[in-house]
Amino acid sequence: MEKNIEKSIEETLRKSSPARAWSKLLLCLCCLAFAIFIRFFVFSIWSFEGKIVPVCELALCKKNSKAGDLLSVATKSGNSILLWQVGKSGDTVDIQTPFGNLIIDIPRVGDTVYFERLYPMLWDASLALYRELSPEKKINTEISIWSGKKELPFAYVGRASISGRPVSEREVAFLPWQELRILELQLQKIFPVYDHIRFKRKLFADTLEIKSLVINEELFYLSCEKAGQQKLCFDSRENGFFKKSEIQGIAL
């Protein structure tokens, strides 16, 4: 009986010893540190379409993303959003726009894109890339109106309107591709004698005309909606291509 009591006392003292208490505290601290590391350096937790979505931010997770994956990306405003991957450098993608579908080839690293050959949406996207590469340069755009090989008087744009107001000649060069396309459609109705009215733009950095751009980073075309369900939102149709360095993680 005495041996059992002594054994029980020894066991109680061992469990309540300072060394055991410190070891438990150290274990708890290690678990907490590991949880913090996982939360802030490996995974982030998002609420997306009413669901809780874990996003892996390890380079290994992001390396092999593919069309249909949900990615977290950093926007130029400093915020982070979740967007669906439609394609990346080397892919050919079918894009829905308010003016019909558009099939585009996303440039690879090392490709040279020529501004005069670009569809207006890609022209805007390439302009955004050039601005990031040359922030110290003064970027200007010259714009003109054409019908086939004939240049039309630029004053014609004053006959068109945006949001119910007449268009100013000075603002046209700064309009995004969607509004330029709306102006083209209006001018086509106003001047039916001309075929296929379109705007031509030239890019200048300081006083030098820029005709091409070399792609130096993998590019991603991202959408707010899954393919086939795309709606207007702040994605690649508005923002242009996203760069690999802007991809933060991939949803699991």
Q: What percent of the chain has pLDDT over 70?
A: 76
Average pLDDT estimate for 2-25? 55
C-beta of residue 83 within 8 angstroms of C-beta of residue 231 = no
- Kindly tell me if the per-residue pLDDT of 179 is higher than 70: yes
**Lowest-confidence segment of 8-17, 66-75, 89-98, 149-158 by average pLDDT:** 8-17
C-beta of residue 174 within 8 angstroms of C-beta of residue 221 = no
d(CA 122, CA 105) in angstroms, rounded, equals: 10
Helix ranges (H only) for 135-202 are 177-190
What would the pLDDT profile of 54-83 be if each residue is shown by its tens digit? 888 887 777 788 898 898 888 777 677 888
What is the pLDDT at residue 123? 94
What would the pLDDT profile of 140-158 be if each residue is shown by its tens digit? 999 999 999 999 999 999 9
What would the pLDDT profile of 19-52 be if each residue is shown by its tens digit? 555 455 555 544 444 444 444 445 677 667 777 8
The residues with which 161 forms a beta bridge, in sequence order, are 166
What is the pLDDT at residue 58? 81
Q: Are strands 242-243 and 165-166 parallel, antiparallel or unpaired?
A: unpaired
* Residue with more model confidence, 36 or 136: 136
Q: Which residues are CB-contacts of 99 (< 8 A; sequence separation ≥ 6)? A: 181
pTM of the model: 0.75
d(CA 124, CA 179) in angstroms, rounded, equals: 12
Amino acid at 7: K
C-beta of residue 157 within 8 angstroms of C-beta of residue 179 = no
Average pLDDT estimate for 211-219? 94
d(CA 252, CA 250) in angstroms, rounded, equals: 6
Question: Nearest-CA neighbor of 233 among 97, 107, 130?
Answer: 97
Q: Are strands 161-162 and 165-166 parallel, antiparallel or unpaired?
A: antiparallel
pLDDT class for 2, splitting at 50, 70, 90?
A: low
pLDDT class for 251, splitting at 50, 70, 90?
A: confident
- Kindly tell me if the per-residue pLDDT of 89 is higher than 90: yes
Kindly report the backbone phi and psi dihedral angles of residue 243, in degrees, each rounded to the nearest multiple of 5, phi listed first.
Answer: -90, 160
SS3 call for 117: helix
